[in-house]
Chains A and B, each alone.
Chain A
Amino acid sequence: GAGVSQSPSNKVTEKGKDVELRCDPISGHTALYWYRQRLGQGLEFLIYFQGNSAPDKSGLPSDRFSAERTGESVSTLTIQRTQQEDSAVYLCASTRDRGLGGYTFGSGTRLTVV
């Protein structure tokens, strides 16, 4: 596609439920990031995928968070047993070559845990 697509755009969920967020990167983009942004804050790194290498999961805040990506395709971020502190905008970004160009961001998923 022309850009990075994230779905859903908005998600309201009850505390304790699981949620799955989806990111469709630009075709051919080997590098993909997930970030979390709380209201009025900067971007908090969650996880990084680069091609078929093992992902860098060092930013995942707890074992309730997990993410998958098969090859250079869609990535999903799953949050189990959601808590109110998980409320934030979750942003996905991808690039073809991290050394040459900037990243293209999706519009994000605004997650609200009630």
Chain B
Amino acid sequence: SQQGEEDPQALSIQEGENATMNCSYKTSINNLQWYRQNSGRGLVHLILIRSNEREKHSGRLRVTLDTSKKSSSLLITASRAADTASYFCATDATGANSKLTFGKGITLSVRP
């Protein structure tokens, strides 16, 4: 079953602009993670935010988490053409049988 749902499904912006991607989920989580995927192969881990954290930064990335709304956002500032990729949120749910569950992803295109 799909835990995280990202929106928008696709985003096209101009180089230099900021890109904001959102993720909503359904159950309680230990943490939420964002990944990038180029060319439909291996995913690269970008950032992890724990359930007791509200905001986290890593370089040009800023992630927020609102557990009351069960939502997260990923902001990429000053986007570059090289940021063009698919972005996925993944939730690590609580519970003995929890697993890391991915959304369907957002396709980001950054026009040079």
Contacts and interface: CB of A to CB of B under 8 A. Distances in A.
B59 to A, nearest CB: 15
Interface stretch (A12-20, A39-47, A67-75, A77-85): A39-47
Contacts of B35: 102, 105
Interface residues of B, number: 25
Nearest to B5: A42
Interface string A33-66: 1010101011101001000000010110000000
B84 interface: no
- Please classify the interface of chain B as helix (H, G, I), strand (E, B), loop, or mixed, using the class held by over half of its residues: strand
A98 B35 CA distance: 15
Interface string B64-97: 0000000000000000000000001010100001
Contacts of A102: 33, 35, 45-48
Chain A contact-residue range equals 20 to 34
Given A99-B30, A101-B45, A103-B33, 17 more contacts: A41-B104, A42-B88, A42-B103, A42-B105, A43-B90, A45-B101, A45-B102, A48-B100, A93-B100, A98-B100, A99-B31, A99-B92, A100-B48, A102-B47, A102-B48, A105-B45, A106-B42
